[in-house]
Structure 1
Amino acid sequence: MDFVNNLDTDTSLSILSCLDDPSDIVRASAVSRSWRQFAGFAFAVIKYSLSRNLCLKLFHQLSNVDHIVETSNDSNEGSSEAGSSSLMDTRLLEKEHRAYALLARGCMSSPIQSCIADAIIASSTDNFPAESILNTLEERDRIGRTPSYWSSTGQHRTSVPETLLYRLNGDLCVITEINIQPFQAYFQRGRPIYSSHYVRFRLGHHNDNSPNCNNSQDKKGEPGKSSVESNYVWTYTSQEFPMAQENRLQSFKLPEPVLCIGGYILVEFLGRVQTQEMDGQYYICVSHVKVEGRSLAKSFRVENVDDNGKFGLKVLSYSDPKETEEMDAEAGQEMDADAGQTQLRNLEQLLNLLHRHPLEVVNYVWPESDDEYAESEDEA
């Protein structure tokens, strides 16, 4: 039975509202001519905000969208003649529909990729800058003969936590999983692994209204305590995941994809398990941190987040997010950007190396491959 032809408009719209995937609305309009023309199908979708409602089913965080801004055509919305309020309302509904339809495509079909843009700050650093948080973005375990890792300061109590703060490569990112590799000190007796008991993740945005805001997000890797409690607002907090005391990249998959609104992630390490032989204190050390998900940086920007969490959603481009990513990959733009970031981190690693060996003459040669300087742990 074709329910569109046999049921009233309200009942048909109620059925369509049960769809779980916003893209199904587009598929429904292609079923037949009667479906496409159903009560003016496109108008019905727009009037009853089906795209928005289906997006809210996927990510409840979008309920905080206060208004939508387009990079073009917004200036023309106020040019209508006086008394055409119905036309204005229709245009606003159309704009909302366009934005949420694009948002749905990006959240569901954009390629999953690494979402970390930069390392901001660690709650503590034992030997800055040689053991900086920046080292956790380096994919290699060693730069030349020098190990690459972040280390906290030592503590006598196992309950003292540590945090690492990162900026994502977009104001809107759908996060699916986080990968972390604890550091194994192969140069210490017994080759201890400095993991934590548990790890937890927070997603959110910078608090521009904080009275203590001092642009701490620009102080990358600065030693000492960070002010994440006052300068950042966390809209999502994950469960506590147990971390294995093993030298491998461990995957922590979120129970369901989470939309990060604001572009920041805080990694919390809870509970210390390993002492250092020379001082008997507990440390947490990490080699790598990776965040996997879908970035909507080229489509959207978050603006004017207020104290209640309400924000403006700015549409940067209506190009299909998936097609945009594929075109950039073909043009090599992303590879060039990654290469630039890698070169920058290589320079920082070189400074770290010289910091560790200030009295030695170091003939440092950048390895052409990850395995060029690979040595067995026994030789190390």
Structure 2
Amino acid sequence: MSHVVVIGAGQAGSSCVAKLRNGGFEGRVTLIGSEPALPYQRPPLSKAYLLGEMPLERMFLRPDSFYTDNKIDLRTGQTVTAIDTAAQTVTVGDEVLDYTDLVLTTGSAPRRLPASIGGDLEGVFTVRDLADVDTMAPWCKAGKTALIVGGGYIGLEAAAVCCKLGLNVVQVEMADRILQRVAAPQTSDYFRDLHKGHGVDLREGVGLTRLTGDGTVAGAELTDGTTLDVDVVIVGVGISPGTELAEAAGITIDNGIATDAQGRTSAPHVWAAGDCASFPYRGDRIRLESVPNAIDQAECVAENIMGAGKDYVARPWFWSDQYDVKLQIAGLNTGYDRVVTRDGGAAKSFWYYSGDRLLAVDAANDPRAYMIGKRLIEAGKSADPAVVADPDGDLKALLK
């Protein structure tokens, strides 16, 4: 009997096994996750869950009964230690499992501060899984001082939550501006003003030299020579794809586990999807770190295991929640040469162009701009910059 084994029980892994069963796959299905909990949503971890607004049960992607009813062998709290692509087996503890198809949805891991600069002190956290947030929560008490290292979306979301919890927040970003790697100066300006308006001591062009403390973090030395007294440190300096198992098995790695357009890796009968996978996109190779990509790519792989033979067509979109602002991003802004701002007061959007071609839209509390921009980008259409820039311009007319 055919047997699909999926390693990694996050959004991609859970989506893959669900698609297999919903698509009529009748063979064995095994989903293996290293965490003890049922597969759950990650985005609420550092926001609604940390704030106490969402209980764990509401974060589960599917109830336990789903896996039982659909004859999915869900193995939580177990770690795969080896893959043998020639024998088509995986090792889990003392057990060796055969597979006919293997799907790697091993996700990603946060980059941590080196121990040499205090990264191993108590009170220093990254945010990636339940254990991280459960351990961090008691440290995030009103009146304490939090240092946020990194000014990307992860760091900005952490700063917003700490402010909501009543902490004093200092945030440092080594680059010249926050969001420098992923957004235009206009978007950076918008979020700088937002965070400073909520009392964040935001310092750009300033990095961390080292953390200090006797076993527990107590202070920080910054690259501009200043020192801080701190009670908790949250590190948001990016993530690395989970490629260790694949690399050890001899599978090709290229900014993640390299796949073809249909999700196949360099090893026969081995597929990859989600944060860990890089794939062809418009003549290049990219890796998308987003929930929508994890779902869509994993479902495409499941269909291809069942013989669909279809290429994965990425439709990049992302979101970020900070205070009372929901940022929605459609498209990828790589290669933009100008930005057009649409200022609707409380609703603002930033439209990225390369020449006359619309590449992406950052929409802050502007779902209409986001939806129209997304539809235009997916259809390969552009948008008249004059209409975009006019807050009274009819965006919907751009779709005609």
Specify the TM-score bucket, using the shorter chain as the normaliser: under 0.3
TM-score normalised by L of structure 1 = 0.22
Higher relative contact order (CA 8 A, sep 6+): 1
Structure having the higher Rg: 1
TM-score normalised by L of structure 2 = 0.21
Bigger fraction of residues in helix: 1
